[in-house]
Each structure stands twice: as structure tokens, then as C-alpha cells.
Amino acid sequence: MNQVVPLRRPARLAPGARVAVLAPSGPVPEERLQAGLDVLRGWDLDPVAAPHVLDRHGEFGYLAGSDADRAADLQSAWCDPAVDAVICARGGYGVQRMVDLLDWDAMRAAGPKVFVGFSDITALHEAFAVRLGLVTLHGPMAAGLDFLKSARAQEHLRATLLAPETVRTIASDGTALVPGRARGVTLGGCLALLAGDLGTPHARPSARGGLLCLEDVGEETYRLDRWLTQLLRSGWLDGVSGLLLGSWAECGPYEGVRALLADRLGGLGVPVAEQFGFGHCDDALTVPFGVAAELDAGAGTLTLDEPALG
């Protein structure tokens, strides 16, 4: 029986750590990239921009350059012994086009590093869990507007990277859609990407035993319904321990989204926390994936058994 298990924790960052910033998905505005690099420098880190981070695909302008170049940036950074962490610049779309080009044997041999991103980066969170067995951080990205304009989002990511013992309890402003407490191992990300990843070599076969985090952006309710129903019909949600629901920005009035979430997820018989404060939202929290934890849906807290990073 496949069950979500705790993964290997990379080392926390120390002052002076080198951080590669790259774009596995969509193109990055240069001024936002520079602003994000400045934030990281302010944390006494040493950020370096990947060679193709500012590229734009000649035919498909929604991609940050060619699939091969985006994959090469990630693999080169991961296999560089001088690099301690990889932080994605932004999401968009494109990871599913490049993830199969990565040399997972070489990346595994390079050893663990810190990896940060969300949204389209969900496909890499899954791949890093399945192929490398590593804890990753679902958190704001270096050139994201939600990161650049939010001191709270910046501080929570900074603390997770440099002083992870201070954020073992992740406290949100959320409430219980279904009350209760649950224990499990964190996983998840963007709903559309998780549903789209099913059946690929990089996807977990099941969320059994997991505390599943879900969020999405800019999708109509019927599309959210389709993807939730796909996860249910495939059996992927069988045995899940609990759910944390993040932001549903630009997905229509929240009361309609909430009704759908209750309809599709309320029957699982597990605690469900809503509006937990991660994803495409102001002041987004950083949530580690692959860590054993306890969810208290009523209190809106996720308490990690150990710090996200070693």
C-alpha cells in the first residue's frame, strides 16, 4: 500500500549561502527579478541569476525560453556544489514540458539542497519527492509580486530558510471547514497541476497518509470541480489524513468555491482547514512538503514534528 512518508531534509541556509534563482516556467520581468535578488541580498544571502532566467520563447511567449534551456538551468544549479538552494523566480506554465529532460541520477548524486516555489512549480515538488526523496518548500518566489510587496511573506520565508526552528508551528487566520485534528506528512500544491500530473513518472501514486495542501488561481468553479472529482475518482485521495486549503484567488466569489470544496471534500471524513494563507495570496505562508506534522483545523495551525530544514 502506497503511503506518503517523511522525506530527507536539506540543511538550513547560513549567512553567505549561494542561492540560484531560475525560471522553470514562465518569463520573468527584469525589474522584478532585480528587486527579488535585492531582498535575498538583504538576508545576507548570495543570489545568482541563472543564465536563461530572463529568456522568452520565440514562438510560445508564455515560456521562459526553450524547454532544454530551462531544464539546463535547473540541473546546472542543482549539480553545482557551490549552490546551496534553488529559488524559482515565478510560476506560470512550463514545468511539465521540461521536467522529463532532467537527469535525476545526476541530481540525486549532487545531494540535497533547498528548493522553493509554488503554483506551476507543484510539478517539481512532486518530482523532487518521488525522484529525490527531498523535503521542498511551497513558498513565495523571488520575482513574484506577492513576495515583493509583502513583508510578512518575506519574513516567513526568511525564517524558514535561516531559522526553521522558529516556525515549526505555522499559524494561519484560517478556520475549519471540517473540524478536527489529524497527523500526516505534508504534500500538495496547485490543484490543476496535481490533477494534471496523475499517471506521470513523477507523481505520487496516492495521498494516503498525507496532509494535503490545495490551492489554485484564476479558475472557474466548474474547472475546480473537474479536478477535485478527478482526484476523487482516481482514488488518489483515498486514505488522506487531512486537508489544508489555501487561496482561491480569482476563482469567483468565495462562497461558491467554499460550497464546492465542502461538497467534494467534506465527505472524506477527515479534518479540513480552509483559508490557510498559502498560495496566490497576500502575506503567503511558506509550507514545507515532506515533513510529518499535526493539523488542528479549528485552530488553523500546522505543527511540524521537526523543523523543515536540518
The CA distance from 173 to 185, in Å, is 21
Question: Which among 25, 119, 150, 172 is annotated as catalytic?
Answer: 119
The CA distance from 85 to 18, in Å, is 7
Question: Which among 215, 219, 241, 247 is annotated as catalytic?
Answer: 215
Buried b (16+ CB within 10 A) or exposed e, 247-272: bbbebeeeeebeebbeebbeebebbb
Which residue has cell 465542502? 262
Let me know if 280 is a catalytic residue.
yes
Cα 148 to the center of its chain, rounded Å: 17
H or E element: which one contains 217? strand 210-217
Query: Do residues 5 and 135 touch, judged by C-beta distance below 8 A?
Result: no
Let me know if 57 is a catalytic residue.
no
Let me know if 156 is a catalytic residue.
no
* Cα dihedral value 228, 63, 69, 32, nearest 10: -100
Residue numbers annotated as active site: 119, 215, 280
